[in-house]
Amino acid sequence: MTTPRKLFVKTYGCQMNVYDSERMAEALAPSGYVTTDRAEDADLILLNTCHIREKAAEKVYSELGRLKPLKAANPDLRIGVAGCVAQAEGAEIVARAPSVDLVVGPQSYHRLPELEARARQGARAIDTDFPAEDKFDALPARPKAARGPTAFLTVQEGCDKFCAFCVVPYTRGAEASRPPARILAEARDLVDRGVREITLLGQNVNAYHGAGVDGEWSLARLTAALGGIEGLARIRYTTSHPCDMTDDLIAAHGEGGKLMPYLHLPVQSGSDRILKAMNRRHTAEEYLRVIDRLRAARPDILLSSDFIVGFPGETEADFADTLALIEAVGFGQSYSFKYSPRPGTPAAERAEVAAEVADDRLQRLQALLRTQEQAAQAAMVGREVTVLFEKPGRLPGQMVGKSEYLHAVHAMAPGVTPGTLCRVRITESAAHSLGGEVVAE
C-alpha cells in the first residue's frame, strides 16, 4: 500500500481564499495527498496568498524564510505559492525565494496536479495564466466526507470596477459568474454532508449574473433557489458593491426567507471627492439611499462596511465626511485600514498622506466604529436570537455559534450538537461576543 503524501496549506486573506484552499486540497487528493496541520510533517507546503495590502504580501516572503530550514532538512519537500501574490508577483517570487518549487495563480489551481508532478521531478513549475477553461469544470467532484455546519461557496470571481487602490481586477481577472445549476448542485452536496449555513462568495458577489438554461440569473434569484434546498437553514453573501444593490436583491432581504439580516457593504470613504478619486462610481448620498432602502425592506438588518483612511489626497475635511457617514449609518461591525499602495494600481502613483496623519485618523475612526459595535451588541441584551451552534465552548456543556446577525454567541447547552439551531435569550455583551441562555421550546 502506497504511503500517502502529506499536504500543508496556509491560507491568507479573504473567505474566498479559504474556499480555494479547500478546493486545492481536493484537487491534489487524486495524486495521493492527505492534509496535515503541521508544516513539519508535510511533503508539499502551499501558501495560498492575498495581495490586497502590502503587509500581507510581505508576510508571505517572511513565511518562506521560516520554511527554508524545513527544506534543508528534507530535500524531498516541495514548497508552492498560490493565490493573488503568486498571480501578481510570480517572477519576483522565483527571484526572491529559490526554495519555491511551484507558483500558481488563483485561476489556474485546477492544474495543481500537473504542476506538482513537474516540481516533484525537479523542475520549477509556474502557471499564472488566465486560462480559457473554467477551473470549476476541471476540478474533481467534492469528497463525501462530513462537514461542519457552515461553509463557503464561490459563485462569482473577478471585478470590473477597477477601484484605484485595488489589485483584484489584475489578480483575479474580469467578473465571471458560475452557472446556477452547478452552484445549486454543490450547495445540495454540502447540505447532504451536514452544512446548515452557506455563505456565497465573490469579489463583487452582487454583480452575479449566472447563465441558466432559462436565461440570466441574478443573485436575488440564486438566493431564492438556494432557499428551496431542504436542510439549508441560512444563506449569507459577501462582498458586495453599492452600485450592484439591485431592487430585487434589496427586496429579498425583506421577504422573510433564509437570507440572513446581515450585510457587508463596503463604502471606503464618506467624501465624494475621495470616492471619485477612488473610482468607486457612487457618492456618499447614493450609498446612504441604498442603506435607507435596505432598512425599509428589513428594519433589523445589521450593516458592516470597509473603510480606508489616508487615501492619497485625503484632507481633514474629507476625513470628517467619512466620520459623518459612519454616524449617519450606525454600523454593527466594520473593518478599517490605513491606505496601502499596491504596485500597478492608479493610486500607487499619487503622493501619500503623511504616515502620522493617517495613523491618527485611523485611531479616531476605529474608536468611533468600536463605539458603534459595542452599542449594537449591547442592544441585543434582553432580545431573543436564533443561534446556529458550531462547536463546544471552553466550559463543559457550553456551545458557541453565530446569531442571524453574525454575532458570536455562547450559551450553556448540554446535549446540543454542532449544527443545531436554538433560540437564545441574550443576557450579556462582552468585547467580541454575546452570552445567553437557551430558551426552552
Nearest Cα to Cα of residue 218 among 228, 229, 210: 210
Backbone angles phi, psi at 238, to 5 degrees: -165, 150
DSSP states of 107-124: T-GGGHHHHHHHHHTT--
Q: How far apart are CA 117 and CA 123, in angstroms?
A: 9
Q: How far apart are CA 267 and CA 215, in angstroms?
A: 31
**pLDDT: which is higher, 94 or 403:** 403
Q: Output the pLDDT for position 277.
A: 98
Q: Output the pLDDT for position 133.
A: 58
Confidence label for 294 from pLDDT (cuts 50, 70 and 90) = very high
Q: Give the pLDDT confidence of 136-145 residue by residue, as tens digits.
A: 776 777 776 7
Q: Give the pLDDT confidence of 100-138 residue by residue, as tens digits.
A: 999 998 888 888 999 999 999 988 888 877 665 566 776
CATH for the 263-379 domain, from 3.30.750.200, 3.40.640.10, 3.30.420.40, 3.40.630.190: 3.30.750.200
Q: Output the pLDDT for position 25.
A: 92
384-438 fold: OB fold (Dihydrolipoamide Acetyltransferase, E2P) (2.40.50)
DSSP states of 204-218: TGGG-EEEETTEEEE
- The model's pTM is 0.86
Neighbours of 30 (CB within 10 A): 9
Asked if pLDDT for residue 215 goes beyond 80, the answer is yes
Residue boundaries of the structural domains of the chain: 5-127, 144-260, 263-379, 384-438
Give the range with max mean pLDDT: 9-13, 145-149, 167-171, 224-228.
224-228
Measured in whole angstroms, the distance separating CA 244 from the mean position of its chain's CA atoms is: 18
144-260 fold: Transcription Regulator spoIIAA (3.30.750)
CB 180, CB 210: distance < 8 Å: yes
CB 169, CB 159: distance < 8 Å: yes
- Mean of the per-residue pLDDT values of the chain: 92
Give the range with max mean pLDDT: 2-16, 99-113, 334-348, 401-415.
401-415
CB 329, CB 302: distance < 8 Å: no
Q: Which residues lie below 8 Å from residue 265, measured CB to CB, with a gap of 6+?
A: 240, 242, 245, 287, 290, 291, 303, 304, 305
Asked if pLDDT for residue 333 goes beyond 60, the answer is yes
Which residue positions form the known binding site for [4Fe-4S] cluster? Answer: 14, 50, 84, 159, 163, 166
Neighbours of 213 (CB within 10 A): 7
Longest Cα–Cα distance in the chain: 69
Q: Give the pLDDT confidence of 372-397 residue by residue, as tens digits.
A: 999 999 999 999 999 999 999 999 99
CATH for the 5-127 domain, from 3.30.1490.20, 3.40.50.12160, 3.40.50.720, 3.40.50.300: 3.40.50.12160
Confidence label for 58 from pLDDT (cuts 50, 70 and 90) = confident
Share of the chain above pLDDT 70, in %: 97
Which residue positions form the known binding site? Answer: 14, 50, 84, 159, 163, 166
Confidence label for 93 from pLDDT (cuts 50, 70 and 90) = confident
Asked if pLDDT for residue 13 goes beyond 90, the answer is no
| Average pLDDT of the residues in 288-311 | 98
Let me know if the fold of 144-260 is the same as that of 384-438. no
| Average pLDDT of the residues in 256-266 | 95
Asked if pLDDT for residue 421 goes beyond 60, the answer is yes
